[in-house]
Amino acid sequence: MTRQPNILWYCTDQQRWDTIRALGQPHIETPTLDWLCANGVAFNRAYSQSQICTPARASFLTGATRHRTMCIATATRIFRRTRSW
């Protein structure tokens, strides 16, 4: 039996990639995020399904588009029949 990986998804809110020192920003100190980048994975070409956080996170967690999850605005619930991992 293949063992599934243990994945911790850490997502900061409203933070662009160019506000993290480890990713090239020389003027801001971000020691915790720098440590996470050095010891984990930092995606430098990631795209979001939505500019709004709740639908974007629902899409990420389910692998479905925001229209499929029926989560199209902030504070909406994921559609109950939407399959996730």
Could you give the 3-state DSSP secondary structure of residue 63? coil
Between CA 78 and CA 55 the distance in angstroms is: 8
Residue 78's pLDDT band (cuts 50, 70, 90): low
The pLDDT assigned to 83 comes to: 60
Residue 42: exposure state from Cβ atoms within 10 A (0-12, 13-18, ≥19)? middle
The residue-averaged pLDDT of 4-30 equals 86
Residue 79's pLDDT band (cuts 50, 70, 90): low
SS3 breakdown of the chain: % helix, strand, coil, rounded to 5?
35, 0, 65
All residues at 6 or more sequence positions from 17 whose CB lies less than 8 Å from its CB, including other chains: 23, 44
Is the confidence at residue 81, as pLDDT, over 80? Answer: no
The pLDDT assigned to 35 comes to: 95
Is the confidence at residue 75, as pLDDT, over 80? Answer: no
The pLDDT assigned to 46 comes to: 77
pTM: 0.64
